[in-house]
Amino acid sequence: MKTLRVLSLGAGVQSTTLALMIEKGEIPMVDAAIFSDTGAEPKAVYDHLDWLETQLSYPIHRTQWRSLKKDIIYAALGENDSFSAPFFTLNSKTGKKGMLMRQCTRDYKILPLYRKLKRLMGYRWRQHVNKKKWHAEVLIGISSDEMQRVKENKLPYASNVYPLIEKDISRAQCLEWMKKNNYPEPPRSACTFCPYHSNKEWLDLKKNKDEWDEIVKIDELIRYADMQKENKITGQLFLHQSCTPISQAKLVNKKNDLQFSFDDECEGMCGN
């Protein structure tokens, strides 16, 4: 049986540390890394990815289904189908707050990764993989402080591997390891407009004026978007959990300022 070993690369702190630990031989080598591009990462992540590529002897395959950012903008303008990003909702009649279902991780991160995985094994997307002939190991950069994100791979021919957890390495230890090895601190990897951002992360994004202006624009665009009808929401959509426009939201940087976070809402595919 052949084994394909790939790293799921988000280009954030944990997956970058894992990528470089593999390169240094601290973790067994992979055949390739796969970066699922949502088309909505901050420039810092794309720059970091370009740098990381120069540090690795194994290839990074960049793959993209569609641009989530464009899909959101066009859906908000009523020019294409609805989408499913986890925006905050405010019911205008009852004042009740909620959150839309999150489908984006699956559609824009997980499925493109699996498509690429199959292609690397020589299969087309709809083709059946003979699990007696192939097995894929997908290395995921979840650290020991994010145990709740560990999930079993549902594909019959693949299994998830969590080397940072096996080695009991936390996110803080990843940062220490990067520093000790004279590598730059990786940026937070996530869509610029992701509602899972903490106030600290929104404040960091605010430092880049162009990106912040675009975030404010997207926040305004989604407010009364047509998609609300399809989702049967009689209210407004927001990027910030306070359900106020992001340009006016109180971005107080304190610990545990977020009800929802990447740590418990994503499957190790966003934010690391």
Question: By the criterion CB under 6 A, which residues form the site for ligand SF4?
Answer: 38, 85-86, 102, 104-105, 108-109, 190-191, 194, 196, 266, 270
User: Rounded distance, CA 152 to CA 14, Å?
Assistant: 19
DSSP three-state, residue 173: helix
Q: How far is the CB of 135 from ligand SF4 (least distance, A)?
A: 27
Asked if 17 and 48 touch (Cβ cutoff 8 Å), the reply is no
* 199 secondary structure, DSSP code: H
Q: How far is the CB of 168 from ligand SF4 (least distance, A)?
A: 26
| Residue with smaller CB distance to ligand SF4, 24 or 151 | 151
Q: How far is the CB of 122 from ligand SF4 (least distance, A)?
A: 28
Asked if 268 and 110 touch (Cβ cutoff 8 Å), the reply is no
Q: How far is the CB of 125 from ligand SF4 (least distance, A)?
A: 20
Q: At what angle do helices 209-222 and 68-76 cross, to 10 degrees?
A: 40
* DSSP for 101-158, written as a single string: ---HIIIIIIHHHHHHHHHHTT--TTSPP-TTTEEEEEEE---GGGGGG-----STTE
Q: How far is the CB of 192 from ligand SF4 (least distance, A)?
A: 9
| Residue with smaller CB distance to ligand SF4, 236 or 272 | 272
| Residue with smaller CB distance to ligand SF4, 4 or 190 | 190
Asked if 101 and 84 touch (Cβ cutoff 8 Å), the reply is yes
| Residue with smaller CB distance to ligand SF4, 7 or 190 | 190
| Residue with smaller CB distance to ligand SF4, 108 or 157 | 108
